[in-house]
Amino acid sequence: MLLKWLGEAGAASAIRAAAVISVPYDLAVASRYLERPVGRFYAAFFAKRLKTKSLDLLARFPRETTHIDPARVRRARTFAEFDECLTAPLHGFAGADDYYRRSSAQPFLARIAVPTLCLSSEDDPFFPGPAVHDACAAASPHVTFEVTSWGGHTGFVSGSWPWRPSYWAEERAIEWLIAHASPAGGAGSAASAG
């Protein structure tokens, strides 16, 4: 969401620097990628939690959600099915494909006008490495990609693990923000998301 917003705002952004970690730059690609066998493990874990929260939302706001079928939400097995029956209609999209097309960050990367750090890994189970490189190619010169061969999805652990782990992605993001937030290098108006 942050990358999309920065692209929409362009040079008018009040944010002076940004950092993101493990972004699924193209939501359609991410949705398909999660249908692989290893991706299904993650999808099943998140789907259970999403369904519980979604069904609670439908129960609490029945008048506002009459256009959503709770039985379809319960039957959804993939993110694409979930997005088709709940996310898209709840937020005014024509369907999952419309939601993915209009909400993905990748088409907005070329218009980002502030220093932005994107940390990703080749082995992210939520988003394929080659698609990260597609996002790199689509970005403006203000966007810096740092892509590691490993790190998983927001993992990026180093050090003498498990006894003294270092979560270096967070440290790298803070370092980036401090260096770019103001002309003097001090902390100013900055944003980060992961």
String of DSSP letters for 41-82: HHHHHHHHHHHHHHHHHHHH-TTTTTTS-HHHHHH--SHHHH
Confidence of residue 184 (pLDDT cuts 50, 70, 90): low
Contact criterion met (CB below 8 Å) for 2 and 18: yes
Measured CA to CA, the distance from residue 106 to residue 25 in angstroms comes to 5
- From the list 106, 116, 194, the residue with the least C-alpha distance to 155 is 194
Confidence of residue 189 (pLDDT cuts 50, 70, 90): very low
pLDDT of residue 151: 77
Residue 181 has pLDDT above 70, yes or no: yes
Q: How much is the mean pLDDT over the chain?
A: 88
Confidence of residue 27 (pLDDT cuts 50, 70, 90): very high
Specify the range with the lowest mean pLDDT, choosing from 18-22, 49-53, 151-155, 181-185: 181-185
The residue ranking higher by pLDDT, 98 or 191, is: 98
Contact criterion met (CB below 8 Å) for 104 and 26: yes
Chain position carrying tokens 């249908």: 35
- From the list 132, 116, 136, the residue with the least C-alpha distance to 124 is 132
| Per-residue pLDDT tens over the stretch 74-112 | 999 888 999 999 999 999 999 999 999 999 999 999 999
Mean pLDDT of 56-75: 95
pLDDT of residue 40: 76
Domain boundaries, the chain: 2-26+104-193, 29-102
Work out the percent of the chain whose per-residue pLDDT is above 70.
90
Contact criterion met (CB below 8 Å) for 34 and 133: no
pLDDT of residue 93: 98
